[in-house]
Amino acid sequence: MTSLKRSSLTPNTITSSTRIFGVCGQDIKYTLSPAMHNAAFHHLLLNYVYLTFEILPSNISQAVEGIRALGLAGINVTKPFKTEVLPYLDDISIEAEKIGSVNTIINNSGQLIGTSTDGIGLQRSLEEKKVSLANSRVLILGAGGAARAACAMAKNNKAKSVIVVARDTARGQKTATVGGATTIGLSSGELRGALKNTDLIINTIPTNVPIDKSWFTEGHFVYDTRYDEKETQLMRDARSKGAQVSNGLSMLLYQGAESFEFWTGRKAPLNIMRKTLVDQLSQRK
């Protein structure tokens, strides 16, 4: 671990020994991860930098090999590659194997090890908001890597029932198996009925979800994992019917802190990371 004296370190310091971390995905200009991690590195005087890497689906294998070839220290993986990177890694954690999804890659002397911090990030965020999963009826919108992590997390925390709502039925069924859930289609007439018997709605779809706002009730808690807006359309619609709502900023914080600790072996400075996220999001309309 390389450190610098505070007097010589600024948020933009780059030296010949700076280690590189980052996040890879597609269409991720909205990401707040670089600001969060770079603030944490600077606070702890670590000679690290965190960058954004936009890649195409056709280049996923080359991108993963580039982590090894260039000696990048660690990478977060986001949409739409959390499941696609698996075949190109040297090893994965038990958690990642269980859910079939990776959001964190650790470069251990050329060996690329994948794990997932999405589940614990979501769990800690819900706990912070006093949302109990035990005996709750959970509905998950989406079937990607974050949905898989949410599905497993709900099962591990003894949710009474879990329903996965997906455009792609086959993919939805694969996601549902992670948490012993059932599956329905996003545009299905079943969705309205399912919402009537739901306590917690977790959205993992990175775009606005076409749900009639009249289907929400005061008994719902809607957790939208998106954080590109302070309040998404889904959140506004649910709030208009009395539901409690949250965006995914605290999930980003907690999953990021877990990744940070995997990479650095240091305790993540949560207060610094949280303040950075709040400040950055407040600058957006």
Q: Is 155 a catalytic residue?
A: no
86 and 100 Cβ atoms separated by less than 8 Å: yes
Residue 206: how many CB atoms within 10 A of its CB? Answer: 20
CA–CA separation, 8 vs 39, rounded Å? Answer: 16
Q: For the residues of 102-143, what is the DSSP string, one character each?
A: -SEEEEETTEEEEE--HHHHHHHHHHHTT---TT-EEEEE--
Q: Name residue, tokens 């859910």.
A: 99
Residue 17: how many CB atoms within 10 A of its CB? Answer: 8
Burial class of 146 by CB neighbour count within 10 A (0 to 12, 13 to 18, 19+): buried
For residue 184, which phi and psi values (nearest 5 degrees)? -135, 165
Active-site residue identified among 29, 79, 82, 275: 82
> Using CA atoms in the order 69, 49, 253, 264, what is the torsion angle rounded to 10 degrees?
70
Active site residues: 82
